[in-house]
Chain A
């Protein structure tokens, strides 16, 4: 049900995540931002158990900030990804976090990168990745249309194609998505793709 996917383009990495917060058959809200800004040049798109998702990503975020204060320089994307994987691995056989993560970052020396980290602490550096039922559609779409060094317009077009595919083919497709991007200027929100806006409540 939760759809997260991302890809690496020419000098940037983009991630998209659905924005529905679901509990059993109830949709709590449809504008839940599941892509956390880890630091100035990193994004974590997380899906899974909502308590674990928030708890774990905030924990990683604070530890990344602590590293920066202690050492005067930020962590590289690779280091942050390996640290995240390490925390998942340590907790795995006692009290696992049920969170799947796509970590996107930009480093001055090595450019943009995307890391696939699943809940049992698998770590892969990838050009494109996806989690959830939506991955069946977004991954296929990206396999067909992705090529390395895509420009931002092409990449957003591909993201939109994936969202269209998810919306039309997934039985309980999430209505809204958020797209965030990271490049040399930093990590920032790019756009929302809303098909259902929260209706204003009529006053009594």
Chain B
């Protein structure tokens, strides 16, 4: 046990947690991801690096559902993402089992962020190298939400946000062009933000929309919109 109490994430003399900042670097190198919240719809989009010819692109799903009414996209280390997503899915069902209620988007975001924070304050582990964009609808009020978490474990709600490669350009675009939209307008905004930083062409982006009634739906040909 003595070998595992050497903390990897320690403070620097000027108050930085370098491991967390290096994790943020890993996020900055990851695929671009964008999320937009409309009045009746939430949209997630991710950049898909040109698929290797022999790879079955359907096996690489970048936007996943955590429950019927919550979905997640992320930028950064995809292997770390698998672990977080698995834990989140278990927590969604566990919550339903213990309190007979589906999770709220805020609850599951807080859970994921809490998990990310734990790994910045434990011995022998490194932080998760990913930021997540979590979207969903409140199970009772039907209000749509978009949240973002990062490797430090902080989270906040957004009207629209981007993470991963060139996220600053995407965020600038969103800040300039965001307005309250619904339906197809929201989808168009998300796709346009992504296309700012991704070479245009349908094969390079994956987009999914979620509505209160129909849950998560992957779009067939985002480039055609």
Chain A residues positioned under 8 Å from B66 (CB to CB):
69
CB distance from A155 to the nearest CB of B (A): 32
* Interface size class, chain A: under 10
Assess whether B97 is in contact with A69, with CB atoms less than 8 Å apart: no
Chain B residues positioned under 8 Å from A65 (CB to CB):
93, 96
Chain A residues positioned under 8 Å from B97 (CB to CB):
58-59, 62
Assess whether B89 is in contact with A62, with CB atoms less than 8 Å apart: no
- Give the contacting residue for A62; candidates B65, B86, B94; CB below 8 A: B94
- A52-93 vs B, CB cutoff 8 Å, 1 = contact: the mask equals 000000110011011001101000000000000000000000
Chain A interface, DSSP helix/strand/loop, else mixed: helix
- Give the contacting residue for B89; candidates A58, A59, A66; CB below 8 A: A66
CB distance from B91 to the nearest CB of A (A): 10
Assess whether B94 is in contact with A69, with CB atoms less than 8 Å apart: no
- Give the contacting residue for A63; candidates B65, B67, B93; CB below 8 A: B93
CB distance from A65 to the nearest CB of B (A): 6
- Give the contacting residue for B67; candidates A58, A69, A72; CB below 8 A: A69
Q: Which of B91-114 contact A (CB under 8 A)?
A: 92-94, 96-97
Assess whether B96 is in contact with A69, with CB atoms less than 8 Å apart: no
Number of interface residues of B (CB under 8 A): 12
A58, A62, A63, A70: most-surrounded residue (chain B CB, <10 A): A62
For the complex, give the distance between the alpha carbons of A65 and B93 in Å.
7
For the complex, give the distance between the alpha carbons of A145 and B90 in Å.
45
- A65's closest neighbor in chain B, by CB? B93
For the complex, give the distance between the alpha carbons of A51 and B90 in Å.
23
Chain B residues positioned under 8 Å from A63 (CB to CB):
93
CB distance from B144 to the nearest CB of A (A): 20
Chain A residues positioned under 8 Å from B96 (CB to CB):
62, 65
For the complex, give the distance between the alpha carbons of A62 and B86 in Å.
14
Chain A residues positioned under 8 Å from B67 (CB to CB):
69
Assess whether B86 is in contact with A70, with CB atoms less than 8 Å apart: yes
User: What would be 21 A-B contacts, judged by CB atoms less than 8 Å apart?
Assistant: A58-B97, A59-B97, A62-B93, A62-B94, A62-B96, A62-B97, A63-B93, A65-B93, A65-B96, A66-B89, A66-B90, A66-B93, A69-B65, A69-B66, A69-B67, A69-B89, A69-B92, A69-B93, A70-B86, A70-B89, A72-B61
